[in-house]
Amino acid sequence: MTDDIKITRTRAHEMVAAGARLFDVRTEAEFATGAVPGAVNIPVQVIAQAIDQHAQPGDTIVLYCKSGMRSDLAAKVLRGMGFAKSYNLGGIGEW
């Protein structure tokens, strides 16, 4: 793939403004403590099983977690499943 998985704050905002799906891959408990407005919570542990309920393979997807490690993993898992436009913003603080 020619696209980098890791994106900047500016690029993430542009993508979401253009209609990208925004997913928080932290646990439900972490999500409940605060999240980016409009984000959907799909914990990384279940993203492979749950993504079809929230996105299609052609959709642009922006993911974040606490530090960026889980969202990096989630982006790689999704790309492996055919969601080629999956990107890692990093930690929630990057938003």
- Of the candidates 10, 5, 7, 36, the residue with the CA atom closest to the CA atom of residue 23: 36
DSSP 30-53: HHHT---TT-EE--GGGHHHHGGG
Cα→Cα distances 35→4, 12, 63, 66, 77, Å: 24, 15, 12, 10, 22
**Catalytic hit among 55, 65, 78, 92:** 65
Note if 64 is an active site residue: no
- Active site positions, annotated: 65
